[in-house]
């Protein structure tokens, strides 16, 4: 056909990280068809949905099959009831419901946010980071070099902030390192953004895993953040909605572009232009998750995964590995002595049948690390811990 390919596609790696891992695992299984693999790789949730959430969604589905209960398109910005619940339960009133835009997931909004920004917008991302920030930037046709901000044990995983970037992406707790930024670090980030007149896109997809009350769960816990930060959130990891799809983005009223246009005004326009709101069923599930009694029950899911993380972390420490994360996040970040990430990936696969994620897939500063996910069933984690006892690189 005469249609030309989007040239930006060739600016990103031909394969996303997780299909690459699946391919490597598949090749291994062809050589060892009997291998009993333990998947601590892709960070997908494994516990079933709480039954009251499923119940609420099935009630909603049944009402859609009645004349009185049928609903078509909802408001593009999402259900006002859900906006209100998020504002109350997750932001304790420091964000207004109308500043919350309900989405079909954080990843989708991270992609759509690029519509907001001009072609010469320069971005900086943590290194290592969730690859979606940089890849969607490139896919959107913007092509300035991406500033990588190394986050390593040597700098307490808090980078030197680059003055040249217009937007800094910051994820806390971070995927893949599992490190949650301290209040002081986030104050530094916000002060930097204020001083340099730049925007922060704060990814709080894992905020519900933060246990230490001293660590902020939202960027809006930091004074002045409303003037410089957009926050992206998700029900995926809070409540096992990875398949259902539900998230949100907070765009505070104070945020303005260089020419004075309110950012929320443009975001509203974009959301109603290329998205028509999240599924009514997912939103009814989201409302159920945030009911007072339910929210406590939901925290049991988080606790379960965190216990997995502690078991894994202990096992790696007993083997003498330097390990990070796993306490306020569902990922354990393991340093490999004198091995590349892919060498480590294959060593663990061959010797323990455990699937991990090579740190180098998240950026050059991830080289020499592996990420192990806590999103597994306890029996699988216990089996992994047993196998690790006799492991050596
Ligand atoms: N942000 C980070 C840092 C993630 O690791 C993920 C998923 O793994 C997402 C966002 C995507 O969340 P969602 O399922 O809401 O699209």
Contact 354, 387 (CB under 8 A): yes
Cα–Cα distance measured from residue 374 to residue 172, given in angstroms and rounded to the nearest whole number = 17
Calculate how far, in angstroms, residue 205's C-alpha sits from the geometric centre of ligand 1: 6
Neighbours of 19 (CB within 10 A): 12
d(C-alpha 188, C-alpha 209), whole Å: 22
- The rounded Å distance from CA 240 to ligand 1 centre is 12
pLDDT reported for residue 16: 73
Cα 216 to averaged position of ligand 1 atoms, centre (Å): 19
- Reported as a single tens digit per residue, the pLDDT across 201-245 is 999 999 999 999 999 999 999 999 999 999 999 999 999 999 999
Q: Ligand 1 centroid to 35 CA: how many Å?
A: 30
Positions of CATH 3.90.1150.10 in the chain = 7-49+294-388
260 Cα–ligand 1 center, Å:
31
Structure token digits, residue 271: 């959301």
pLDDT score of 296: 82
Q: What's the pLDDT score for residue 19?
A: 87
Atom of ligand 1 nearest to the CA of 171: 3
Closest by alpha carbon to 49, among 210, 278, 245, 285? Answer: 285
Query: Which among 128, 130, 362 is the best mutation to test ligand 1's pocket, defined by most ligand atoms within 8 Å of the CB?
Result: 130
Separation of 213 CA from ligand 1 center, angstroms? 23
CATH assignment of 7-49+294-388, among 3.40.50.1980, 3.20.20.450, 2.60.40.1080, 3.90.1150.10: 3.90.1150.10
> What is the band of 42 on the pLDDT scale with cuts at 50, 70, 90?
confident
Atom 11, ligand 1: residue with shortest CA distance: 107
Residue 231 CA neighbour count, 13 Å, CB half: 29
Query: To 10 degrees, the CA torsion angle through 174, 180, 182, 188?
Result: 0
E strands present in 58-185 = 100-103, 123-127, 147-150, 167-171
Residue 229 phi, psi dihedral angles, 5° rounding: -130, 140
What is the pLDDT confidence band of residue 334, given thresholds at 50, 70 and 90?
A: very high
% pLDDT > 90, the chain: 94
Beta-strand pair 323-325/247-250: unpaired
What's the CA-to-centroid distance between 195 and ligand 1, angstroms? 29
Is 293's pLDDT higher than 90?
no
**Which residue puts its alpha carbon closest to atom 8 of ligand 1?**
43
Q: Which of 269, 274, 239, 276 is nearest to 251 (CA)?
A: 269
pLDDT of 255 reads 98
In terms of CATH architecture, what is 51-291?
Answer: 3-Layer(aba) Sandwich (3.40)
- Between 152-166, 290-304, 342-356, 374-388, the lowest mean confidence (pLDDT) is in 290-304
**Strand-pair category, 229-234 with 199-203:** parallel
In whole angstroms, what is the distance from residue 387 CA to residue 98 CA? Answer: 50
| Range(s) of the chain covered by CATH 3.40.640.10 | 51-291
Q: What percent of the chain has pLDDT over 70?
A: 100
Question: What are the residues whose beta carbons fall under 8 Å from the beta carbon of 138, sequence distance 6 or more?
Answer: 8, 11, 12, 146
Residues in a beta bridge with 200? 168, 229
In the predicted structure, residue 297 carries a pLDDT above the cut 90: no
Prediction pTM value: 0.97
Atom number in ligand 1 closest to CA 103 = 15
Helices (H), the chain: 17-31, 51-64, 80-85, 106-112, 132-139, 183-196, 236-239, 263-274, 280-289, 292-318, 341-352, 378-388
Q: How confident is the model at residue 294 (pLDDT cuts 50, 70, 90)?
A: confident
Average pLDDT over residues 95-120: 98
Q: Is the pLDDT of residue 15 over 80?
A: no
Within 6 A (CB) of ligand 1 lie 43, 105-107, 130, 171, 175, 203, 205, 234, 236, 242, 247
Give the bridge partners for 32, in sequence order.
none
Burial 311-343 (b: 16+ CB within 10 A, else e): bbbebbeeeebebbbbbbbbbbbbbbeebebbe
At 260, is the pLDDT very low, low, confident or very high (cuts 50, 70, 90)? very high
Q: Of the candidates 114, 111, 95, 122, which has an alpha carbon nearest to the alpha carbon of residue 196?
A: 122
Which of 169, 237, 239 is the best mutation target for the ligand 1 pocket, counting ligand atoms within 8 Å of the beta carbon and taking the most?
237
| Average pLDDT, integer, range 327-347 | 97
């Amino acid at each position: 056909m005469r249609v030309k390919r989007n040239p930006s596609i060739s600016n990103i790696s031909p394969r996303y990280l997780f299909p690459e891992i699946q391919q490597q695992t598949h090749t291994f299984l062809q050589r060892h068809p009997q291998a009993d693999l333990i998947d601590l790789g892709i960070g997908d949730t494994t516990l079933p949905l709480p039954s009251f959430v499923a119940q609420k969604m099935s009630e909603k589905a049944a009402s859609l099959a009645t004349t009185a209960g049928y609903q078509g398109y909802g408001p593009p910005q999402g259900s006002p009831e859900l906006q209100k619940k998020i504002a109350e339960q997750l932001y304790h009133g420091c964000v207004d419901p109308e500043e919350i835009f309900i989405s079909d997931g954080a990843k989708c909004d991270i992609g759509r946010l690029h519509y907001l920004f001009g072609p010469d917008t320069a971005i900086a991302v943590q290194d290592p980071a969730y690859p979606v920030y940089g890849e969607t930037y490139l896919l959107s046709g913007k092509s300035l070099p991406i500033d990588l901000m190394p986050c390593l044990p040597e700098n307490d995983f808090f980078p030197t902030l680059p003055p040249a970037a217009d937007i800094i992406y910051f994820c806390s707790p971070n995927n893949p390192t599992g490190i949650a930024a301290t209040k002081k670090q986030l104050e530094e980030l916000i002060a930097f953004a204020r001083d340099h007149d730049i925007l922060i896109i704060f990814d709080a997809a894992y905020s519900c895993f933060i246990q230490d009350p001293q660590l902020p769960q939202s960027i809006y816990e930091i004074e002045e953040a409303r003037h410089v930060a957009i926050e992206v959130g998700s029900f995926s990891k809070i409540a096992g909605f990875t398949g259902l799809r539900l998230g949100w983005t907070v765009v505070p009223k104070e945020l303005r572009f260089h020419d004075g246009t309110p950012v929320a005004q443009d975001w509203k326009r974009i959301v109603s232009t290329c998205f028509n709101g999240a599924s009514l069923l997912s939103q009814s599930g989201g409302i159920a998750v945030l009911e007072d009694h339910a929210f406590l029950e939901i925290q049991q899911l988080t606790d379960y995964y965190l216990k997995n993380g502690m078991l894994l972390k202990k096992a790696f420490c007993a083997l003498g590995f330097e390990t990070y994360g796993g306490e306020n996040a569902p990922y354990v970040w393991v340093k490999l002595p004198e091995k590349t990430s892919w060498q480590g990936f294959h060593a663990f696969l061959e010797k323990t049948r455990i699937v991990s994620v090579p740190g180098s897939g998240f950026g050059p500063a991830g080289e020499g690390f592996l990420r192990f996910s806590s999103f597994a069933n306890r029996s699988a984690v216990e089996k992994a811990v047993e196998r690790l006892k006799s492991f050596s690189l």
